[in-house]
Amino acid sequence: MLSNSYQRQVAEAIKKVESHTDAEIMAIVAREADNYLYISTLWAAFLAILFSPLLQFLPWWISFQQAFVLQWLIFIALAIFFRWRPLTMKLVPKKIKYWRASNLARRQFLEQELHTTKDRLGLLIFVCEAEHYVEILADRGLAQHITNDNWQIIIESFIREIKKGKAGEALLMCIAQCGELLKEVAPTTSVKNELPNHLILLD
């Protein structure tokens, strides 16, 4: 997660951008979109089932009931082992991770009431750490003027900075780049602040 210093800088950066545009910006950083325990459990069950054909090679003095218990123990051990977070995230397909992160971004867009701003000028910068996912969601008033390609260029620049280990700087740069687009299509016409400027962190 971003340090307190960067959180303050993010709030100031949003305030600065909003002084030049009628758009409302919100930045959200989530630790993860899901715990994916069902994925790790499914992997454990799958590998435990694969163990079944090997039961015929067990010593003759081990009964069927003992072999069945052994299979359950293997399942439990694997389920616990696979809950180690770095390993869990490796087991989850990228498509599922991105799908869960994208769903969370859209839920937050609605929960934070970005769709209720005047002239539908809400903009969400959403980052999901565990999934390495970044998305920019623009409401209708902005989407009709700014294409997804424009946002994607900013996202790609954001990701390049994150890969360099500069998460805080990347978010500040992203806000500034979004601001350049916003003041062109939605220049300020009145002083307002409909939504909070501070960075929202989701644990």
Q: Are residues 141 and 185 in the same domain?
A: yes
- End-to-end Cα spacing for the chain: 9
* Domains in the chain, number: 2
Closest CA to 171 of 9, 59, 5: 9
Sign of CA dihedral 87, 93, 95, 96: negative
pLDDT tens-digit readout, 137-174: 999 999 999 999 999 999 999 999 888 888 888 999 99
Q: Are residues 84 and 97 in the same domain?
A: no
Q: What is the CATH number of the domain that holds 154?
A: 3.10.310.50
**Structural contact between residues 13 and 184, judged by C-beta atoms closer than 8 angstroms:** no
Q: What angle do CA 168, 117, 184 make, to 5 degrees?
A: 65
- 3-state secondary structure (DSSP) of residue 26: strand
DSSP 83: T
Q: Are residues 193 and 120 in the same domain?
A: yes
- 3-state secondary structure (DSSP) of residue 22: coil
The rounded mean pLDDT for the chain is 89
Alpha-carbon gap, residue 167 to 162, rounded angstroms: 5
| pTM of the shown model | 0.86
Q: Are residues 122 and 183 in the same domain?
A: yes
What is the per-residue pLDDT for 176? 95
Alpha-carbon gap, residue 191 to 195, rounded angstroms: 13
Q: Are residues 130 and 44 in the same domain?
A: no
Q: Is the pLDDT of residue 92 over 90?
A: yes
pLDDT tens-digit readout, 18-48: 999 999 999 999 999 999 999 999 999 999 8
Q: Is the pLDDT of residue 1 over 60?
A: no
Alpha-carbon gap, residue 14 to 178, rounded angstroms: 10
Q: Are residues 61 and 12 in the same domain?
A: no
Closest CA to 107 of 89, 124, 129: 124
Distances (CA, A) of 99 to 74, 155, 163: 31, 17, 21
What domain range includes position 198?
A: 4-34+93-202
What is the per-residue pLDDT for 169? 87
Q: Are residues 72 and 56 in the same domain?
A: yes
**Structural contact between residues 11 and 155, judged by C-beta atoms closer than 8 angstroms:** no
